[in-house]
Amino acid sequence: MELTAFHLAGLFVTLIIIMGIGIHAGKKVKDASDFSSGGHKSGSVLVAGTIAGTLVGGSSTIGTAQLAYTYGLSAWWFTIGAGLGCLILGLVFVKPLRKSGCNTIQQVISLEYGAASGIITSVLASFGIMLNIVAQILSANALLTSMFGIGNVESAVICVVIMSCYVIFGGVLSTGILGAIKFVLIYLSVFLGAFTALKLGGGFTQFYAALEHGRYFNIFARGIGIDGGAGFSVLLGVLSTQTYIQAVLSGKNDNAAKKGAIMSSVLIPPIGIGGILIGMYMGINYPSIESNQAFPLFIINHMPPVLGGVILATLLIALVGTGSGMALGFGTIITNDIYKIYFNKNASSKEELIVTRSVIFISLIISALLTLGNIKSAILTWGFMSMGLRAAVLIVPMTGALFFKGKIDKLISILSSILGFISFMSCELLFDLNIDSLIVGVLVSALTAATGIILKKRRATTA
């Protein structure tokens, strides 16, 4: 079914309003501090908006429906892991992160283990950030192809333009304000869609009767190692992602940052259920479509046109918000941990702002180019891989720097990140394991650090 004039009206009005808010937010950005941390003035709602607005993107909506189209309930692991990650971020990590006085994860690591550790983790973790941007642009391709039938290149260009307007002007302030608005729209969209799917499909009992139970109603349908590992990957990925750390650092105080993270942990998991019900309905009634088009085709075919247009715009903004939020974190890391250290230590605040915005735009271009050879790949695969790679590199040295000061040597910290990265990528590219590669990567990294701690204690005992 093609888009009607009513679909287009709802779509374009929503896009214009949201992009206008993003550009307006940019007028309040005067320097790099405003851009990267919102001037540390954000309340709990704005913190939650930044976190949830970035986490709930293409993977949580289009990607979840895509996996549910084939595997049902096991598609819930992305939003379950995201919610648990936000909860631990709020309860455990907020205070030590804010107390550190650092702006990035790499600065936390550098402060404890030296500049070399910071630069190495910056480079390795950047690969993970780029993978998540790729996931969002793949989602955009599925959405725009469903709506307009345009090609992959055109989809990528449109996506990069909207992402640029979303984040380059306003930074954290923009992602926070738009994140809160977008999250409300996503909630309404997903649950209206889920309600419609249940109504059209004759209720949950009809779903249960029509689908294979062992596959579609088993949360570990792909195996405990794969599905449970995927949820664990997202959990650790949240704790290892600059964008979410940036969000809690933008809070006006510890309490606001903590409440914002906990609010996100409660609000995110239900999103997955809505995507799953839509994916199941499409699997029953449209068995021959491309799985990545399950969510957008459902909206086009089964929602009232104007409302459908608003929902399609919301989905586009959802994946744009996640991709641009990742790009914001990437730009902040490159500027603070590479440019200011190795290129211009005395860079002015305005120069920092220019460099950060330039890096964001370049990262979006590179990510768009990477999608062109991977159009048919599963969106959630990229999302899980992105989270896992960042965690394999960062979670052990960051945790050591925050909670075990002086326990791990500088060389061991660097080695734990490098070996975590190598083991993760080796599992992804060379081996067909029945567990998530994140488990292997983090385990190798943790064992490396633990060995270093034991050896350091023995040296201290014999000295």
CATH, residue 28: 1.20.1730.10
- Give φ, ψ of 190 to 5 degrees: -65, -40
Would you give the distance in Å from CA 431 to the centre of its chain?
Answer: 25
Indicate the pTM of the whole model: 0.78
DSSP 8-state class, residue 91: I
Asked if 60 and 267 touch (Cβ cutoff 8 Å), the reply is: no
- Quote the crossing angle between the two packed helices 410-430 and 105-113, to the nearest 10°: 130
* 17: containing domain: 5-462
| pLDDT the model gives residue 36 | 44
| pLDDT the model gives residue 38 | 46
| pLDDT the model gives residue 173 | 46
| pLDDT the model gives residue 31 | 45
| pLDDT the model gives residue 28 | 52
Q: What H or E segment, with its residue span, contains residue 331?
A: helix 305-334
Sites in the chain below the pLDDT cut of 50:
29-39, 170-174
Asked if 303 and 193 touch (Cβ cutoff 8 Å), the reply is: yes
Asked if 225 and 439 touch (Cβ cutoff 8 Å), the reply is: yes
Strands (E), 234-361: none
Asked if 364 and 163 touch (Cβ cutoff 8 Å), the reply is: yes
Cα distance between residue 404 and residue 412, in whole Å: 14
| pLDDT the model gives residue 337 | 73
Of 162, 129, 179, nearest to 11 (Cα)? 162
- What three-state secondary structure class fits 251? strand
Total tally of structural domains belonging to the chain: 1
DSSP 8-state class, residue 73: G
Of 280, 278, 277, 328, nearest to 299 (Cα)? 278
- Quote the crossing angle between the two packed helices 115-148 and 379-403, to the nearest 10°: 160
- What three-state secondary structure class fits 42? strand
Cα distance between residue 56 and residue 60, in whole Å: 5
| pLDDT the model gives residue 34 | 46
